[in-house]
Amino acid sequence: MKISASFLGSKNIGETIRKLSATDVDYIHLDIMDGKYVKAKTLSFNEFKMIHNYTSKRLDVHLMVKNPLKMLDDYASLNVAFLTVHMDTNSDLEKIFSRSLEYGIKVGLALNPEDEVEKVYPYLDRISLVLVMSVHPGLPGQEFIKEVLPKIKKLRSEITKRGLKTLISVDGGVTLDNVKDLKDVDIIVSGSTIIKSDNYQETITKLRG
């Protein structure tokens, strides 16, 4: 199981990323919010570019924005492993798929807690990752929504049945107590659990199980 660490909610982003970079965490998770798709708004692209001064880790970019296609070119210039968009946005998913392919970036689709898992089935053979939101997008520190667990199992079953390599990632409210319920998951996105701990590496190791 891989870990993608989010710094959303950090009061000192530079220091948090520096400390994360000293661990064996697999990815740094970037939550990008435009104040339109969700109420919250995060740093500008120019500010996010400064992350390169603090880490060489691959980036796991989560675009919680109304028009992700407009931002794709900018974020593709960073050290991006995955770029995930929400399906209910204004952008043409086909254009996002083709543009990401041009950049050699693996594209993901996000499912909100209220979304039926079947919504993503038509795209499973064309994407690299499904991000299952286990909280409502936009705010850090929310509690894990247990109702997504059956959806994760259903999604894993569908991926296995088709013989696909599509990864499942879960984002939101993951703790050392509930991570045991996520055995069907490939990547865990964790923010508060890691960055509010006294020892980042120890917490990351425990999350891996």
Residue 206 clears pLDDT 80, i.e. is over it: yes
- pLDDT tens digits, residue range 156-200? 999 999 999 999 999 999 999 999 999 999 999 999 999 999 999
φ, ψ (nearest 5 deg) of residue 134:
-100, 10
- Assess contact for 134 and 112: CB atoms under 8 A: no
pLDDT tens, residue by residue, 6-55: 998 888 998 999 999 999 999 999 999 999 999 889 888 988 888 777 89
Residue pair 42/32 in contact (Cβ under 8 Å)? The answer is: yes
| pLDDT at position 25 | 98
Catalytic residue annotation: 31, 171
Residue with tokens 């946005």: 89
pTM of the model: 0.94
Residue 72 has pLDDT above 80, yes or no: yes
Q: What is the model's pLDDT at position 157?
A: 98
pLDDT given at position 139: 75
**121 lies in which domain range?**
2-208
Angstrom distances, CA of residue 116 to CA of 83, 89, 119, 132: 21, 16, 6, 11
pLDDT in tens, 96-149: 999 999 999 999 999 999 999 999 999 999 999 999 999 998 777 789 999 999
**Total H helices, total E strands in the chain:** 7, 8
Look at the chain and report how many structural domains it folds into: 1
**127 within 8 A of 167, measured Cβ to Cβ:** no
Neighbours of 199 (CB within 10 A): 12
Question: Helices 68-76 and 93-103: crossing angle, nearest 10°?
Answer: 0
CATH of the domain at 45: 3.20.20.70
* Residue among 116, 120, 117 at smallest CA distance from 108: 120
User: What is the distance between the alpha carbons of residues 37 and 19, in angstroms, rounded to a whole number?
Assistant: 30
Confidence bin at 89 (pLDDT 50/70/90): confident
Burial 152-176 (b: 16+ CB within 10 A, else e): beebbebbeeeeeebbbbbbbbbee
Q: What is 28-75 written as a DSSP string? A: EEEEEEBSSSSS-B---HHHHHGGGGT--SEEEEEEESS-HHHHHHHH
Give residue 119's pLDDT.
95
